[in-house]
Amino acid sequence: MPPKKGELALIAQIRQQFATSPTALIAKGIGDDCAILRPPTGTEILVTTDFTLEDRHFRRDLHPARVVGHRCLARGLSDLAAMGATPLAAFLSLALPKDLPSAWTRQFLQGLQSLAQASKVTLAGGDTAQSPTHHILADIVLLGTAPTGTSLRRSGAKPGDRIYVTGQLGAAAAQLRTLLAGGKVRTHHLPQPRLAIGRKLRTKATACIDLSDGLSTDLTHLCEASKVRAELDLASLPIHPTATQNDALHGGEDYELLFTSSARIPKSIATPIGRILKPQKNHPSITADGIPLPPQGWEHFKQ
Amino acid sequence: MPPKKGELALIAQIRQQFATSPTALIAKGIGDDCAILRPPTGTEILVTTDFTLEDRHFRRDLHPARVVGHRCLARGLSDLAAMGATPLAAFLSLALPKDLPSAWTRQFLQGLQSLAQASKVTLAGGDTAQSPTHHILADIVLLGTAPTGTSLRRSGAKPGDRIYVTGQLGAAAAQLRTLLAGGKVRTHHLPQPRLAIGRKLRTKATACIDLSDGLSTDLTHLCEASKVRAELDLASLPIHPTATQNDALHGGEDYELLFTSSARIPKSIATPIGRILKPQKNHPSITADGIPLPPQGWEHFKQ
């Protein structure tokens, strides 16, 4: 389907804002049937895609466009961080309602661009369309690289490994609760994907996942992939000052890294919060202070 | 945001239907934070993303789910074909309305899968969500490879080159016109991306683009990227028996390849339809039998 007038303007805006010259890594960015990437030799390619859909992942009345743009890219970058990857290129598919004020689009792209610049990732292509409804629809694709064979996975945790988490937990959930209750927030939470730590962990972590769905849910994924159990020590959880223990255990969108290691990890990098145990039949994947902790990953906008 | 019950079922269905063991090229498919790809050495990576949005790119009352799934993948594969690439992996982001019958999803995935198998491309990941509206929303990402430096671009056409097109033009537009008028069609048009021809053209074509928006629009893109003009010979257009000349000139979704070459291309591969000319100030990009032909790429569902 050929672009409509509004879509042509959007494409022009994106091209202008994200204009790049060919580099050693990106031989062709926006402007052909495909982008052409030339990853460094000896690397493997990491790929992740993440939707950002209005009224599912954000609400226009609660989240400023700049914050939505930042988070849209952060979701994909955090997946790269969890694999220990270096960002290579981003692709954005964006469908906008006909009546969307152009200021929204501008601020969304600005939010996305400033995180892209800080993370040294280039927007190398994507797709645009007019949204079939009044909803803003985005899908972000991230490609990254890591030396072949060094990418971190969810599946390598071993009994005896310590469980670690970066940063503090629960801030995003606590803030969203405030917003949903009609409260104001001084500064919107802008998650910072842990790319530098992820790269450091390539040789240190046995398994890694990013905290997008909440600790209880994401640790369950890690345990299932690694075929192990986990015991959490609740007193050691690095809970954000604004958050409750419940936010820290089940709140989503923290975008911190949850990983396991047999090595001692410095406190400056991450906090130890528990141990990996041998699997046992009919035992829950996770216990916290000895009590079963089912995955209760938390949902934004229940329908 | 953690998956909901329906979303978990969808993920399970996709995982089961597209289950793959690690291969030399895809070290990790669905099931981690990112997929891990290991493209052959000496290749560059081609990347394209394409939306398939209900009421923009298809209509549920006109297009069977299987056909929508086929076309969703075909759109991306055709972009790879236009660059001369070999498909490496596909990623599908899919948001479905809560009340969508599971048969729709099954048939959509079947349509996508049978083209994936025929094209030897693996679904290696993606994202799922509940659609915020009653609309089905998909975004397909295709990665391909080509020997470094051999990818075809839109930008290499030279004055004196012949213009060629594969297959026949206008069938998709003619069929859609029938469907929109309430008519029935015996078999739905299933475009076959020209991957094998695209690879052959790497050493023969000077520029290439796929016909997704219609000949007049896509040839304009090629001329603009190559900084040339084009003269079409209308009598030579390979018009599909069901289509009009207008369908062939401006109809979208043919997914044939439009390319330029200084070599003689056999009739079995493509039909010569015109010549590339030197650019001239204030002259239109395209003339057909000497008369200016503005881009009139055709739209499915005008709003």
pLDDT digits 0-9 by tens, B253-282: 999 999 999 999 999 999 999 999 999 988
CB contact under 8 A, A45 and B37: yes
Domain assignment present for A172: yes
| Domain edge (last residue) among A147, A181, A206 | A147
Residue in the block written with tokens 């926006």: A30
Q: How many domains does chain B have?
A: 2
Q: Is B4 on the interface with A (CB under 8 A)?
A: yes
Q: State the Cα–Cα distance between residues B125 and B123, nearest whole angstrom.
A: 6
Q: State the Cα–Cα distance between residues A285 and A300, nearest whole angstrom.
A: 24
Q: State the Cα–Cα distance between residues B69 and A73, nearest whole angstrom.
A: 27
CB contact under 8 A, A44 and B51: no
pLDDT in tens, B77-129: 999 999 999 999 999 999 999 999 999 999 999 999 999 999 999 999 999 99
Neighbours of A212 (CB within 10 A): 24
Chain A residues touching residue B34 (CB < 8 angstroms): 46-48, 79-80, 82-83, 85, 142, 144, 151
Per the annotation, does B203 bind a ligand? no
Q: State the Cα–Cα distance between residues B201 and B265, nearest whole angstrom.
A: 9
Name the residue range of residue B170's domain.
Answer: 162-292
Q: Is B41 on the interface with A (CB under 8 A)?
A: yes
Domain assignment present for B58: yes
CATH code for position B263? 3.90.650.10
Q: Tell me which of A34, A49, A60, A151 to substitute to probe the interface with B (most B C-beta atoms closer than 10 Å).
A: A34
CB B271 within 8 A of CB B165: yes
Chain A residues touching residue B135 (CB < 8 angstroms): 132-133
pLDDT in tens, B130-188: 999 999 999 999 999 999 999 999 999 999 999 999 999 999 999 999 999 999 988 89
**Which helix or strand (DSSP H or E) is residue B163 part of?**
strand B162-165
Tell whether B166 and B286 lie within a shared domain: yes
Q: Which residue of B has its CA nearest to A50?
A: B127
Tell whether B17 and B123 lie within a shared domain: yes
Model confidence at B303, in pLDDT bands (50, 70, 90)?
Answer: very low
Chain B residues touching residue A37 (CB < 8 angstroms): 44-47
Note the helical H segments in chain A: 5-17, 65-83, 102-118, 171-180, 195-201, 215-226, 245-250
Residue A4 is predicted with a pLDDT of: 55
Tell whether A130 and A86 lie within a shared domain: yes
Which residue, among A93, A47, A99, A217, has the nearest Cα to B88 in the 3D structure? A47
Q: State the Cα–Cα distance between residues B172 and B189, nearest whole angstrom.
A: 6
Q: Is A7 on the interface with B (CB under 8 A)?
A: no
Residue A5 is predicted with a pLDDT of: 63
Q: Is A221 on the interface with B (CB under 8 A)?
A: no
Which residues of chain A fall below pLDDT 70? 1-6, 298-303
Tell whether A175 and A243 lie within a shared domain: yes
CB contact under 8 A, B45 and A51: no
Q: Is B55 on the interface with A (CB under 8 A)?
A: yes
Domain assignment present for A29: yes
Three-class secondary structure of residue B250 per DSSP: helix
Q: Which residue of A has its CA nearest to B215?
A: A2
Output the average pLDDT for chain A.
93
Q: Tell me which of B1, B58, B258 to substitute to probe the interface with A (most A C-beta atoms closer than 10 Å).
A: B1
Domain assignment present for A76: yes
